[in-house]
Amino acid sequence: MEMLPKLLLLLLILDVARSAQKLQEFFEWKIMDFDFPSERDRAMAIFRGKYKPENSLPVGIEIWRDKLFVTVPRWKEGIPSTLNYVPINSPLKNPPLIPYPDLKSNELGNCEQGLSTVYRLKADACDRLWVLDTGTFGIDKTTQNVCPYALNIFDLNTNKRIRRYEFRPEDVNMNTFIANIVVDVGKTCDDAHAYFSDELGYGLIVYSFKKNTSWRFAHSFFLPDPLRGDFTIDKLNFQWGSEGIFGMSLSPLQEDGSKWLYFSPLASHREFAVSTATLKNSSKVGESWREFLALEERGPNSHTTSRVMDEFGVQFFNLIDQNAVGCWNSQYPYHKKNHAVVDRDDVGLIFPADVKVDGNRNLWVISDRMSNFLEASLDYNEVNFRVYFAPVEKLIEGTVCQGAKRYRVSGNYGFDRYHVFGHDYNYLF
């Protein structure tokens, strides 16, 4: 007789485990809507084919004060605006996207003044928003390069663009596709760098804000692992075998004034790292093969596209095959046993496309069923896009990621390579 309640309890626990526990749903949309000046404008935009609601897939997020930025790449027609935001305190569960800084600045094909396609973006400590415009329309074989790749930086206080930098022809190649950006601010706002991962052209591009110039690293660690190109997400099987360097995150500042840039190709289960001291030195291009480090593999089903590290050195990464978000406490070596799944949800977290930590140490996640959208189709009667949120401390409670100590700039904490990377470093080099 005692067996039954126990079994029921177990079933209950198993059932609950399939939906997000710690992450709280913040926004949800069945289909993306934009904030048009009036209902009439919306109707006209639909009538003219300028707005096709079913073609918008939100991909990247960023949080700055009371704004949640949401990007929508122009993979298909009818996307009014690629860079948008919603007010975090919106009373709606599905607020329409507001073009940022305005609709005109999001004009497709207006290379000088407009943004054509934006994937991921980063707000920095100096209240600047760093946005890479890929200048593209379409996806895969249909991609048209209507404008050159250009970095756009906005002043978030004035909503004015303060810089536009076109990548040099040498920064890109025939296969270039860049969807990720990280920003590295040093001691002053002027001392800032951005790093861009070229997923299909296999490069890492560095931009110096002070010098207003860029350079490009090549490395075999940027290539996909040929054994890791097979994906199954939400029961859909497909091959993304040529996807190289993708997600990146920066460690807190180390004693010598540098940070670690962690990265992983998309078709790979392995993590790699390189010091920003290497990346920031343009003379190192072509002379730094051994300064890139190979860490361990995360284990089966651990493709990731997005990661972020908080000020305590806890890295969060999306686990797209597991409908989950994972963490690594970088106080310990990059090894499976020092990783944990902080939350998963087989409905709500299908393709968690982007993860970010805000200034109050909350983790934000957007999930968008991207693989279904690209490889099959979405059912717009269902909720397809969700934004989740949770305080980091709550999320890592009871996991190996709990109890990370704030990195100190002085002292030896986390600086020693052996300590950070464990045996892998000595094993490989």
Of the pair 170, 287, the CB lying nearest ligand NAG is at: 287
Of the pair 274, 309, the CB lying nearest ligand NAG is at: 274
Kindly state the smallest distance separating residue 313's Cβ from ligand NAG, in Å: 24
Q: Exposed, middle or buried by CB within 10 Å (0-12, 13-18, 19+), for 363?
A: buried
Kindly state the smallest distance separating residue 143's Cβ from ligand NAG, in Å: 22
* Structure tokens, 135: 């200048």
Written as one string, the DSSP assignment of 33-50 is: -B--SSHHHHHHHHHTTS
Of the pair 178, 355, the CB lying nearest ligand NAG is at: 178
Of the pair 87, 257, the CB lying nearest ligand NAG is at: 257
| Rounded-to-integer distance, Cα 154 and Cα 157, Å | 9
Of the pair 163, 394, the CB lying nearest ligand NAG is at: 163
Kindly state the smallest distance separating residue 421's Cβ from ligand NAG, in Å: 22
* Structure tokens, 394: 């709550």
| Rounded-to-integer distance, Cα 358 and Cα 283, Å | 34
Return residues touching ligand NAG (CB under 6 A): 163, 165-166, 212, 281, 283-284, 287
Of the pair 258, 264, the CB lying nearest ligand NAG is at: 258
Kindly state the smallest distance separating residue 166's Cβ from ligand NAG, in Å: 4
Torsion, CA 406, CA 411, CA 417, CA 422, rounded to 10: -60
Kindly state the smallest distance separating residue 347's Cβ from ligand NAG, in Å: 45
Which DSSP state fits 53? G
| Rounded-to-integer distance, Cα 324 and Cα 395, Å | 12
Taking only Cα atoms into account, the Rg of the chain, rounded to an integer number of angstroms, comes to: 21
Q: Are strands 192-198 and 178-185 parallel, antiparallel or unpaired?
A: antiparallel
Kindly state the smallest distance separating residue 249's Cβ from ligand NAG, in Å: 23
